[in-house]
Amino acid sequence: MTNELVDRVVREVMAALQAQGVAPLRPPAPALPMPAPPAPAEKLPAPTPPAKTFLTAEMLLRRLAGEDGNGRALDLAPNEFLTPAARDIADERHLAVRRTDLALPKPAAAPTGAASPGPAAPGAPASSGPAALGLMLHKPNETVRSVLTALRHDELSLVDYTQTDCWVRNVRLLCEAVVAGSVGAGAAILPYAADAMVLANKVRGIRAVQGARPESVVAAMRHFAPNLLVVEHTFSTYHEMRAMVRTFAAGGAGEPQARVLMDHVAELERS
């Protein structure tokens, strides 16, 4: 069949359909072209953390040139670390070594003339729920720094009581803040705990517990509701320290269960 014959047949069919009132078929509209897929966004390279820089004894002496270095702080960048020889110099000069990534809110100054509240009642729980936790650090190592970063991610409210280069004075400042109610409780993290335990438990109204294991901290909170946690970071793991501080910051568990112990403590404090 030739093309002319096909065209004539199609015209006749179309005319017959129109005569019968049937709308002629229209060819389908051509498909719209599909838009081209968007070009993938350029992936930015991940930021490269700064390389570790080790501060040698000679470099430290140059930084301290012209100053005696006694009774002041040495601020290190997050990627700066002291060599053993530089650490010895810092200890000899009684430098409080601080790292900028450990910056915490400082305690608010008390209004002039404001009356200081008395010590907490013997056996009073540290807190009935989450509250600001006073924190004192002494010679923090890399594990302690990692714990502090994790506590920030946990959104704990922390207040820094590492105010001087003397850990004894800092522990006393922290204890005074706890007793005055400026913070709900306190945590002191030091290389060794025994000295701080002796000092803290001499402050009227302080009930200090040594953070040896998370289970022991939970038991102490149940028995006598301590309001100060002393952690010995030399012999504690990252997970132990984080668990102890988080548990302690969460608050007490009501009235202390060791009533006989608390009665004797109250009697001793009255004498």
Q: What percent of the chain has pLDDT over 90?
A: 34
Task: Please determine, for residue 113, whether its predicted confidence score (pLDDT) is greater than 50.
Answer: no
* pLDDT for 114: 41
Residue 86 CA to residue 68 CA, distance in Å, equals 15
CB 132 within 8 A of CB 183: yes
Sign (positive or negative) of CA dihedral 148, 149, 152, 156: negative
State pLDDT tens for residues 80-90.
788 888 888 88
* 92 pLDDT tier (thresholds 50, 70, 90): confident
Q: How far is CA 246 from the centre of its chain?
A: 10
Average pLDDT for 50-66:
79
CATH architecture of 119-271: 3-Layer(aba) Sandwich (3.40)
Residue type, 172: R
Question: What are the angstrom distances between the C-alpha of 122 and each of 139, 209, 226?
Answer: 32, 15, 10
Q: How many CB atoms lie within 10 A of CB 165?
A: 19
For CATH 3.40.1400.10, list the domain ranges present in the chain. Answer: 119-271
Per-residue pLDDT tens over the stretch 224-233: 889 999 999 9
Query: Average pLDDT in the 98-111 region?
Result: 61
Percent of the chain with pLDDT over 70: 71
Phi, psi of 240 (to 5 degrees): -65, -45
pLDDT level of residue 53 (50, 70, 90 thresholds): confident
The whole-number average pLDDT for the span 184-189 is 95
